[in-house]
Amino acid sequence: MVGIPKTIDNDILFTDKSFGYETACAAAVQAIKAAHTEARSVRNAIGLVKLMGRHSGFIACSAALAASEVNFVLIPEVPFTLEGENGFLHALVRRIQHTGHALVVVAEGAGQEWFDAVGETDPSGNIRLQDIGSLLKKRIESYFTDRSLDLRFKYVDPSYMIRGVPANPQDSIYCARLAQSAVHAAMAGKTGAVIGCWHGHYVHVPIDLAVSRRKQVDPGGDLWRSVIESTGQPQRFG
């Protein structure tokens, strides 16, 4: 048995990217651009886009960098505070007062600390996540209403649309090469491994090692720093 790293969340160890990640990012950018167009079309509007990313915020980070219009990115790896002078909601109000609109991207697994743990799992055994998009929408609207601030809200959840798009050329080529490498590995007698492209080389990674922990965005790393520089948001809200 030889596996291929297929998950759009890009959260598998020892592979530069997983199959489907490039396509998901490209589709997510289109959703972000649509939300930005809606948000900037009226005064005091907020575009909120919820993207995939149960425990890893790679899609949210990469799509925000590619779109370049995003003002706030919230990911599972970086807990955030909603209320208070250093909280997300206060920063959002300042942005609206300064420019008249704002664009927020949130990964689906972000902000789970704001919910009571339910302990439910889906048929695959994954913990059921609470809906951070609906929570943010409710809290943002309440925060603005309490301060008598006008608000127009545009909420976009393109999850199934993104999951259902055909693979783009980069992912098609990548998957074909992963498949070829998997066949070569199997014909050479390898088993219990997954094919990964690590620093540009196709390698055989033992499955136990590949799933020993989850690949996540490093809050002190280059990717998150690039997001902070692109959005202008604080390093952390809290």
Catalytic residue list: 9
Q: Which residues contact 32 (CB under 8 A, 6 or more apart)?
A: 49, 63, 64, 67, 69, 70, 103, 105
CA dihedral angle for residue 36, residue 39, residue 45, residue 47, rounded to 10 degrees: -50
CB atoms closer than 10 angstroms to residue 66: 15
Tokens 């706030």 sit on residue = 72
39 contact partners, CB below 8 Å, separation of at least 6 = 45, 46, 47, 101, 102, 103, 154
Can you tell me the distance from the alpha carbon of 73 to that of 57, in angstroms, rounded to the nearest whole number?
A: 9
Distance, first Cα to last Cα, the chain: 46
Q: SS3 string of 171-189?
A: HHHHHHHHHHHHHHHHHCC
> How many CA atoms lie within 13 Å of 145's alpha carbon, on the beta-carbon side?
7
